[in-house]
């Protein structure tokens, strides 16, 4: 952890926590309907990390995208029940569980064919539609929002009342810490 001042360094960031959505467009985003990673299967979801006080310090909207219509046929040793969904690491040939895709930026998925001996898979990529990082003052008020979207980064600064401002007060004390990557 690194800090920009000698202010106390907060406890480690916790997460990831997965969510179905967020409550509104208030800043910082307020994720709602917490899920396990297994419950994100096949649907877009949000990922949040929190600080020791429970404040959201990182929030991302993840979309599942099929970048190509191309399929890849994989033989299944020993066979599987027709209609079963099967996951693979990208370009892998050994099935993995959906939970094993949590740390992968992409994975292959398909449904076992009628013979039970093969599966036609497609690539699914996890794309970050929006990623916010929030920086708080030592008194807990939001100081800064950094938004990454479409390859661009925007920074918004807030005063102690929560209003956007062009320049932060000189007495700001900010603690910054590295965040883990969004998964």
Q: Where are the domains of the chain?
A: 14-64+127-165, 66-125
- The pTM of this model reads 0.81
Token pair, residue 117, equals 């001996």
User: Among candidates 87, 83, 61, 63, which has minimal Cα distance to 74?
Assistant: 87
Name the strand (E) or helix (H) holding 10: none
Instruction: Classify 78 in phi/psi space as left (phi over 0), alpha (psi -120 to 50) or beta.
Output: left
Q: Check residue 37 and report its DSSP letter.
A: G
CA distances from 146 to 13, 23, 28, 135, 177 (A): 17, 19, 10, 8, 14
pLDDT tens for each residue of 12-66:
788 899 999 998 778 999 999 999 999 999 999 999 999 988 999 999 999 999 9
CA angle, 102 then 105 then 107, to 5°: 75
Q: What percent of the chain has pLDDT over 70?
A: 85
């Amino acid at each position: 952890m690194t800090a920009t001042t000698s202010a106390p360094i907060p406890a480690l960031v916790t997460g990831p926590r997965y969510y179905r959505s967020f409550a509104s467009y208030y800043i910082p985003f307020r994720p709602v309907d917490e899920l396990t990673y297994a419950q994100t299967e096949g649907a877009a979801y949000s990922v949040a990390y929190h600080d020791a006080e429970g404040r959201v310090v990182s929030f991302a909207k993840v979309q599942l995208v099929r970048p190509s219509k191309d399929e890849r046929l994989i033989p299944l040793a020993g066979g599987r029940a027709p209609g079963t969904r099967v996951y693979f690491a990208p370009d892998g040939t050994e099935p993995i569980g959906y939970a094993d895709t949590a740390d992968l930026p992409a994975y292959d998925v398909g449904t076992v064919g009628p013979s039970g001996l093969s599966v036609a898979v497609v690539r699914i990529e996890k794309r970050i539609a929006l990623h916010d990082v929030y920086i708080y003052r030592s008194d807990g008020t939001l100081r800064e929002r950094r938004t990454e979207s479409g390859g661009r980064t925007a920074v918004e600064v807030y005063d102690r009342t929560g209003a956007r401002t062009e320049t932060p007060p000189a007495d700001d004390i900010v603690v910054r810490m590295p965040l883990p990557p969004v998964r």
